[in-house]
Amino acid sequence: MGLFSKLSKLGVSLTAFFAMGMAAALASQPEEWQIGFQEAATENMTMITDFNDFLLILMAAISVIVLGLMLYVMVRFNAKANPQPSKTTHNTLVEVIWTVVPIVILVVIAIPSFRLLYFQREIPQAEMTVKAVGYQWYWGYEYPDHGDFAFDSLMLSDEERGDQPRLLATDTAMVVPVDTTVRVIVTAADVLHAFAMPAFGLKMDAVPGRLNETWFKAERTGTFYGQCSELCGIRHAFMPIRIEVVEKAEFAAWVEEAKNEYAEIDNADAMVASAELEDAARQ
């Protein structure tokens, strides 16, 4: 059996091994001994995963080729094997090749990379908006399109969390309908935080005094866990994010419940506060 076919057999069995691992890791949270990404739940994350896999193959191929060239040079041109060194100093063809090939490789990487960046940056026509606000140390969610209710989402302790995963469990969740383009407005009330959801390929800085915008369109229902991804203080590790993706009818029912349960954002208070701020600024 040739070396190549041995290597390709190894490749096939490795792929099968990782595929098994991925099938077992369908849950949308970190798994023990996880190697790859979480299973994608949005087109964005699918594209990120594909781009990562593509780069991994490209990098491996480059490393193998460079290693092969080095080994060849070491064997073929060492002092023993090559007692009369050649006096060659330039070779136009070789120089053109080692300039052009890296350029081609960079272009091949740049095209899908920019395509992915633009896909993420250009927010499609959103069907609904959720505002995620980072606080020290929990997240708050506001639903301006559904009656402007707002609520906080705090981590649950080991005693409280039930079946939910440790350090990711929350009391309330951001609930969104499946197959819906959701615009997320991300901001913070005190210090820098970051709103991140691995299965969605989502990560956006939460900056006090600034509204950042991102989006996602979840392709399947389920519970998804993420975490604040900006060092934001002593309890940075304890402000997880839980997103519940539900069927559209279920979402409508949840909205009705939530409207009753969570107090409306008091617009009157907010207007008084901003008037007071303007007064203070004038003085």
Chain contacts with Cu ion (rule: CB under 5 A): 193, 228, 232
Identity of the residue, 40 or 202, whose beta carbon is nearer to Cu ion in the bound complex: 202
In the complex, minimum distance from the CB of residue 30 to Cu ion, in angstroms, rounded to a whole number: 18
In the complex, minimum distance from the CB of residue 172 to Cu ion, in angstroms, rounded to a whole number: 17
Identity of the residue, 126 or 207, whose beta carbon is nearer to Cu ion in the bound complex: 207
Contact predicate 173/209, CB 8 Å: no
In the complex, minimum distance from the CB of residue 243 to Cu ion, in angstroms, rounded to a whole number: 16
Identity of the residue, 146 or 236, whose beta carbon is nearer to Cu ion in the bound complex: 236
Helices (H), the chain: 3-24, 43-76, 92-121, 248-261, 267-282
Identity of the residue, 168 or 228, whose beta carbon is nearer to Cu ion in the bound complex: 228
In the complex, minimum distance from the CB of residue 238 to Cu ion, in angstroms, rounded to a whole number: 9
Distance separating alpha carbons of residues 154 and 2, to the nearest angstrom: 58
Distance separating alpha carbons of residues 91 and 102, to the nearest angstrom: 17
Q: Tell me the one-letter amino acid at 12.
A: V
Distance separating alpha carbons of residues 217 and 43, to the nearest angstrom: 8
- CA-closest candidate to residue 173, choices 42, 24, 29: 29
Distance separating alpha carbons of residues 142 and 129, to the nearest angstrom: 9
In the complex, minimum distance from the CB of residue 206 to Cu ion, in angstroms, rounded to a whole number: 7
Identity of the residue, 185 or 232, whose beta carbon is nearer to Cu ion in the bound complex: 232
Question: To 5 degrees, how large is the angle CA 60–CA 65–CA 70?
Answer: 125
Q: Tell me the one-letter amino acid at 9.
A: K
**Tokens at residue 92, please?**
């136009």
| Burial of residue 273, with CB atoms counted within 10 A of its CB: 0-12 exposed, 13-18 middle, 19 or more buried | exposed
Identity of the residue, 168 or 258, whose beta carbon is nearer to Cu ion in the bound complex: 168
In the complex, minimum distance from the CB of residue 258 to Cu ion, in angstroms, rounded to a whole number: 24
